[in-house]
Structure 1
Amino acid sequence: MSGKHIIVIGGGVIGASIAWHLAEAGARVTVFCGVRGGVATPNSFAWINANWGNPEPYFRLRMAAMAGWRRLAAAVPGVSPDWCGSICYDLPPEGLEKFAEEHASWGYDLERIDRDEILRLEPAIRHAPDWALKISGEGMVEPRPVALALLADAERLGAIVHDGAEISALSFKNGRVVGVVTANGVVEADEVILAAGAETAALAATAGVKVPMSSSPGLIIDTKPAPRLLNHIVVAPEMEMRQAPDGRIIASTSFNGTDPGADPAATARRVFDDMCSRLVGGDQLELEGYRIGFRPIPEDGFSIVGRAEGVPGLYITVTHSGITLAPAIGEFAAKELLEGAAEPLLAPYRLSRFS
């Protein structure tokens, strides 16, 4: 058991996973979050995957995270990913062939299926392609409930979670981060972990640390609950769709979320109409609404995870792949902070690469 007191700033899925892994390892953990469950997390498409043509090092990190979801499901009540698999045909045939060949050589569980098999698996798909990839190991999770479940179990393990907390700055003394500045004064700790999503760069700057990142809005639509139409995550050209356990169909036009534009309601209606046109029975669906999340995106698109070089006491996590990577980031951050051993899978994703 570690005697370290560690503050985690952020109550989304990344902060919740870090807090749980630290508490499970015996650290004293305090979480400060504006909203329990996070801001970006509830507005995620929430597809667990090692897809999207990642370079191999990032693929390996995502695969480790997918395995981590299975371990969390066995350990934490309320964490229950649906390993429904995906049907992917979002690339032109030559691009899909290249993706399949590369990822199969890395050990990804995918298979090529023809139109008849696509329609057997997903009879509601209109205009099915000649062939697609079935990726059985991919899944989905309901993002806010899973973040809440991780925080609740972290509290059971002894973590303290402060909801509605406003952190104005990091407390920085003698070249070291020693805590956080709250409305009630400074709270000190041995280490501070920034998992604050879009607010990460501004908070890091109060300790003189530059985090090259941006945040961009992404729109996702939700239908009203409907009879079962989709059995897998369906990744079609300019359209991702999945059906939640409560019957809602959740859709977006890209991994980054649809650009909401100047009129988000009109954009949501266009996405909804497009989605309905792709599904047998789509004319029976009703639009429930839309969500806009501001996604934290490091400058080069890949995660930033690790200590801020030259600033002891500060550990930074920023990633757009938050849902997929949460278990791995939580596990590896806890080990690095409590055991002092660097995780090889994180080596390419340190903040120092931007120096």
Structure 2
Amino acid sequence: MQSLNVELPVSSSPSIIAHINDSIEQTLVQHIISTPQMELQPAGSGKILCAEDYISEKPEHSAVAIAQNALTTIKNSFIGSNTLNLENAFIGMRPMPKDEMPIVGKVADFEGLYIISMHAAITLAPLICQLAQDEILHGIEQAALGPYRLTRFVSGN
């Protein structure tokens, strides 16, 4: 967005992302699960994406260590989860809009440019993308997205 001279009020927030697979490819998680203990999203073929908070650079807080702890929590929470394994884990950077609310919509002065940026993507993406699809493909403005426009950051709005 910098190259277009468009200010996007977003910073980055580190997170641990874990890819968990199931050796028998059962579909243990079929929907997004968001609780104080875990954030899970199905990823097809028995795979699960798990997001965890980044704590520090200390070895005991490494991506793999945090992911292993998350896997233990998952296994303790779901019957039939003993075939789950940690495939990989890494530190990812999540976008964090300045006011912590999603930014969704067309970018003024750039026809065809549409932005979606949000911290809670694992839970909000299905709904936000469905609404955005109607705006992008059919030009039908969605009132539900009104409070989340980039223009809210412009002086005088």
Report Cα offsets for 1:71-104 as digits up to 9, x if no partner: xxxxxxxxxxxxxxxxxxxxxxxxxxxxxxxxxx
Distance 2:43 2:136 in 1: 30
SS of 1:271's equivalent?
helix
Matched AA of 2:20: T
Matched AA of 2:130: P
Within a 5 Å distance, the mapping from 1:47-66 to structure 2 comes to none
- Tell me if 1:230 matches 2:54: no
SS of 1:209's equivalent?
coil
Q: CA RMSD in A?
A: 3.1
Distance 1:291 1:331 in 2: 34
SS of 1:246's equivalent?
coil
Matched AA of 1:352: T
**Hey, what does 2:47 align to over in structure 1?**
248
Identity over aligned residues, as a percent?
Answer: 25
- Tell me if 1:318 matches 2:116: yes
**Hey, what does 1:156 align to over in structure 2?**
none
**Hey, what does 2:92 align to over in structure 1?**
293
Structure 1 or 2, whichever has the larger Rg, is 1
Distance 2:97 2:74 in 1: 30
Give the C-alpha shift of residue 292 in structure 1: 3.9
CA, structure 1 residues 273+209, in 2 after alignment: closer, same or farther (shift >3 Å)? same
Among 246, 262, 268, which residue is 2:67 paired with? 268
Verify the 8 A CA contact 1:223 1:288 in the aligned structure 2. yes
Verify the 8 A CA contact 1:297 1:318 in the aligned structure 2. no
Distance 1:208 1:245 in 2: 38
Verify the 8 A CA contact 1:218 1:293 in the aligned structure 2. yes
Distance 1:271 1:207 in 2: 40
SS of 1:269's equivalent?
helix
Runs of 4+ in structure 1 over 6 Å off: none
Give the C-alpha shift of residue 244 in structure 1: 4.5
Count residues in correspondence.
Answer: 142
Matched AA of 1:246: S
Taking structure 1 as the reference length, what is the TM-score of the superposition? 0.34
SS of 2:136's equivalent?
helix
Distance 2:95 2:17 in 1: 16
**Hey, what does 2:54 align to over in structure 1?**
259
Taking structure 2 as the reference length, what is the TM-score of the superposition? 0.67
Distance 1:279 1:307 in 2: 41
Structure 1: gaps spanning 5 or more residues: 1-202
Matched AA of 1:323: A
Structure 2: gaps spanning 5 or more residues: none
Distance 2:3 2:44 in 1: 42
Distance 2:84 2:100 in 1: 35
Distance 2:14 2:29 in 1: 28
